[in-house]
Structure 1
Amino acid sequence: MASESGPAISVLQLRIALRGLSPPVWRRVLVPEHLRLGLLHKVIQVAMGWADEHLHTFSIRGRRYGEAHEGVLQFYTVASELPLTAFHLREHEGFVYVYDFNAWWRQEIRMERRMLRQQPGQLPRCVAGYGPCPPEDIGGIERYLEARNEHSEYEFVDWIESLREGPIVLEDPRDEVDRWLIRLDRRFDRRIVNDRLRELDA
């Protein structure tokens, strides 16, 4: 943490929104402007709740940036080496982050504002968000929406009613109820995200 007499650092407020979902899934994070794209990728992974098991790319002003993987895609430059300061992002300017080229999770990232802070506190930091992120390997937006409909609140009520209609043998009803509650959980826990962000070496 910087002291009061220390130099102020430039902090960016970014809004990350996953395209194609309703209700929307989004996160608002604060990051130092000197953050490299490779670390921004890790921040997004933590904020969304993914495990970084697939390829990704950034598209900024018409150019692609990502990790170098032989025989996969050729990027303009390697993301891990490039800081956000290189782009001189304007307020409200946006760019795109795509994760998992099979599922094609497309996220719109908007630079909402730039702040100079002498005592910025923990960085990076998630300050707001809404909605649970889709599971890592569910197969994309359409498959996720199908699975969400299959495990909706209405389906849960129908399942409870079916238990009353006849003798259904369950090995452990509590385990099945727990599975339903996990599927129905639409909450976003900012504290968990910030606990994980503290572990990043930003």
Structure 2
Amino acid sequence: MSSDPQPAISVLQLRISLRGLSPPVWRRVLVPEHLTLAQLHNVIQVVMGWTDEHLHQFTIRGRRYGEAHEGVLQCSTVANELALTAFGLREHEGFIYVYDFNAWWRHDIRVERRLLRQQPAPLPRCVAGCGPCPPEDIGGIEGYLESKEERSEYEFLEWIESLREGPIVLDELRDEVDKWLVWLDRRFDRRTANDRLQEILA
């Protein structure tokens, strides 16, 4: 006996781009349209690589949406239960997500396509991306670019050469190597992002 087919659901293909960085940092994700803004916030945090330690807000069609916190900027609607379906987003329409009001990391989000999916699982899913997320609490774009220049490949080779000049303390060497890896590993691991998505949204 064959089971009844699952009803088709509306799926949005979103491109999330972190503004102001070169090379660009972006992700392409598939999300069910019934996702709430709070759930979309979680998706963005995972696929971009943030640690969810700061406040955030969405701006959609000129209105701000986010969690309300006493003593800070109040947004027009609490986002926890507001679904993307409430906006009827069109293809090519864009909106904004800001993370960390001090650093002001601005993400431009664009609806690339609307799809109907018969078997949605596993969703949300990251299908493409480029570039690693900046380290948390680096001081915004300006601080990130300054630190990136200080940790260039040329500076890394200079540091390697300096190790020949004196005794090496293994613990200090390990800590320093960890700091360099943040800047030298420029890949985006889509599989890891999708594994984390399944963990937080299961």
Give the letter for the 1:171 counterpart: V
In structure 2, C-alpha distance between the alignment counterparts of 1:162 and 1:201, rounded to whole Å: 46
What is residue 169 of structure 2 aligned with on the other side?
Answer: 171
Q: 3-state DSSP class of the match of 1:81?
A: coil
Q: Which residue of 2 aligns with 1:51?
A: 51
Structure 1 position 144, deviation (Å) = 0.6
Specify the alignment match of 1:85 in structure 2.
Answer: 85
Q: Does 1:128 align with 2:100?
A: no
What CA distance in whole angstroms lies between the structure 1 residues aligned with 2:5 and 2:56?
A: 39
Instruction: Show structure 1 runs of 5+ residues with no match.
Output: none
Give the stretch that moved more between structures: 66-75 or 12-21: 66-75
SS across alignment from 1:5:
coil
Structure 2 counterparts to residues 1-202 of structure 1, below 5 A:
5-164=5-164, 167-172=165-170, 175=174, 176-201=176-201
Aligned length: 198
Once the two structures are superposed, residues 108-144 of structure 1 have per-residue CA deviations (whole angstroms, 9 ceiling, x without a partner) of: 0000001001012311100000000011111100101
- The 1:122–1:4 alpha-carbon spacing in structure 2 relative to 1, beyond 3 Å, is farther
Task: Measure how far apart 1:70 and its partner are.
Answer: 1.5
- Structure 1 position 92, deviation (Å): 0.5
Partners of 1:182 and 1:134 in 2: CA distance? 9
Is the CA contact (8 Å cut-off) linking 1:27 and 1:47 kept in structure 2?
yes
The TM-score, its normalising length taken from structure 1, stands at 0.93
Per-residue CA deviations over 1:3-29 (Å, capped at 9, x if unaligned) read 771100000000000001000000011
More deviation in 178-187 or 98-107?
178-187
The DSSP-based 3-state class of the residue aligned with 1:195 is: helix
What is the aligned-residue identity percentage? 75
Q: Which runs of 4+ in 1 moved over 3 A?
A: 176-179
Contact 1:4 1:119 in 2 (8 A): no
RMSD in angstroms over aligned alpha carbons? 1.6
CA distance in 2: counterparts of 1:64 and 1:90, whole angstroms: 19
**What SS is found at the alignment partner of 2:101?**
coil
- The 1-side partners of 2:47 and 2:72 are apart by 26
TM-score by length of 2: 0.93
Q: Which runs of 5+ in 2 are unaligned?
A: none
Q: C-alpha deviations, 1:158-194, integer Å up to 9, x for none?
A: 1223334xx3222027524454233311010001100
Deviations 1:78-128 (A, max 9, x none): 111110001000101000000000000000000000100101231110000
More deviation in 155-164 or 112-121?
155-164
